[in-house]
A and B are shown apart, each in its own frame.
Chain A
Amino acid sequence: MDNVKKWRTPVLIVFLLLGVLISVQFHAQQIFRSDLSLQSTDDLTLILKGLQDKRANLEKELQDLEQQQQALNSDTTNGASLARNLTKESNQLEIAFGLIPVKGPGITVTIPPDSNIVYLDLVDIINELWSSQAEAISINDQRITAWTTIYWNKEKMTITVNGADITFPCTIKAIGNPDTLEAGLRLLGGVLDNLAVYKIYPVVQRSSELDLPGAAPPVFHYLQPVQ
């Protein structure tokens, strides 16, 4: 091993260059492998086939998803129109039941204080208004509905509508055609004539715009619809 000095330098140079060569070749080979233009035809065919399959699958998936989206969209539209219809229907029902405040032209019948009036007179007036095609009626801001009660409270000595005491002057508002409504009240031998016998002279006024309140919704405990 005396001749170590003799071979050290050339071997070092050779090894250094070999290292550079190897690493450069390693890099080149890596690039070579990922370069499509240098792949063999068989490999390229395989790769192409794989990609085509993948693409077909993805296209199928896309179609499926589009169909799903369409179905969902139509569902949404159906749901929205259904909700609109239901809201409309519920609004109409609430109007019909007198649950929401309404407004429109009509007449106001004011019964002055100290009138010798009984609750049946009020019922008569309301019945006359209904038969004169009134669409909504209220007494002193108590809306008249299908479940309205009008009676004489013996203990308080007052007329009660929907459980509320009636104070005078009592105002009855009715929405409908003002002419028809007034004509119905002023019918010969009708309600106003009957009241005049007892010296009660209600004041009838026409209005182009009346505001009627809504009634509290009814509570059902026993009722069930028949299918």
Chain B
Amino acid sequence: MWLPILGLLLGIGIGSTLAIPIPGIYAKYLSVAVLAALDSVFGGLRSIIEDKFDGTVLLTGFFTNAMLAALLAYMGDRLGVDLYLAAVFVFGVRIFQNLAIIRREMLANWMQKRNLSALGAKKDG
């Protein structure tokens, strides 16, 4: 259960120690990639809770989403269209949706454990 958090901390540590220099102009695309990655991660968490988890889908989604988002943002810059904003909007909305679903599911599980009606919580949501 705590392994993912440990992995996250380890990743942050590796990133800080490596301190890979990113040229300022690419920082924007990297930020979109991070947003896409976050979206994939929350999607994965949601699928775990919903018992629909597939490791392949998560991994491919993680990489392709991040890369496509960065690529699209770059293309948008080249074409003079702010696709960057579209990516921010879409991923932002999806992250909040996923978070809301995760919260509801967890709340429902918790209610079930306390032998209370899960239906009531689901109706409220």
Contact = CB atoms under 8 A, between A and B. Distances in A.
A27 B13 CA distance: 12
Interface string A1-42: 001101111111111111111111111110110010110000
B120 interface: no
Interface stretch (B15-23, B81-89, B91-99, B110-118): B15-23
A6 B58 contact: no
Interface of A: 3-4, 6-29, 31-32, 35, 37-38
Contact of A28 (B22, B37, B38): B22
Contacts of B33: 21
B48 A18 contact: no
B48 A15 contact: no
A102 B23 CA distance: 87
Given A19-B8, A37-B24, 6 more contacts: A10-B56, A15-B41, A18-B34, A21-B30, A23-B13, A28-B27
A19 B12 contact: yes
B48 A17 contact: no
Given A7-B48, A28-B27, A20 B15 contact: yes
A38 B51 CA distance: 45
Interface in B51-70: 51, 53, 55-56, 58-59, 62, 66
A18 B22 contact: no
Contacts of A37: 24
A11 B4 contact: yes
13 contacts: A6-B55, A10-B59, A11-B44, A14-B40, A15-B8, A18-B34, A19-B9, A19-B15, A20-B15, A21-B34, A23-B15, A24-B18, A38-B25
